[in-house]
Amino acid sequence: MPVEKRRGMVCMASEKLESGICIACGREVKGIPARQDFVIRAARKMRAILRMAPHHTVVENAHFEEAKARRANFEKSLMNYRLGAVLFFLFFIAGGIFFGGDAVSSLFAAAAGAIFIALLPYLRYYPKFDWDFSSNQRR
Ligand SMILES: [Zn+2]
């Protein structure tokens, strides 16, 4: 997306800032909320179950560029690991056929290994901050 268009979105979003904890500096600020993806929703549920105070993640305008860069890195590692998972799966299956192993169990092992690899980058999860409010409705 061209830079001018993103800038326009920043202006549009300024009245939609929410108060929460800034992901970059940990201060309580008004900022852009993190997108409510499955990781954020799961973290919320965990905090609710553990009776911890709700933690609303936002990013200040001042830290937005940094957050965007870190999110881009995270998305890149997601892509790389997914590619790695697919390659692992294919090589594992190819190896299984080559060595004449049990096809069903090597399929399961290959799938389990591939899923594990694909999930690894979530250990360094970084949320997305954007203005897609259609997917960010709070209940
Ligand atoms: Zn901050």
pLDDT per residue over 8-64, tens digit each?
A: 454 444 557 899 999 999 999 999 999 999 999 999 999 999 999 888 999 999 999
Q: What is the pTM of this model?
A: 0.75
CA of 24 to the centre of ligand 1 (A): 5
pLDDT in the model for residue 131: 61
CA of 20 to the centre of ligand 1 (A): 10
pLDDT per residue over 76-91, tens digit each?
A: 999 999 999 999 999 9
pLDDT per residue over 91-113, tens digit each?
A: 998 887 777 777 788 889 999 99
Distances (CA, A) of 137 to 125, 131, 132: 21, 11, 9
CA of 130 to the centre of ligand 1 (A): 16
Name the DSSP letter for residue 117. Answer: H
Q: Which amino acid is at 36?
A: Q
C-alpha 114/C-alpha 116 separation (Å) is 5
130 torsion bin: left (phi>0), alpha (psi -120 to 50), beta (else):
beta
CA of 14 to the centre of ligand 1 (A): 16
Tokens of 41: 């929703």
CA of 23 to the centre of ligand 1 (A): 6
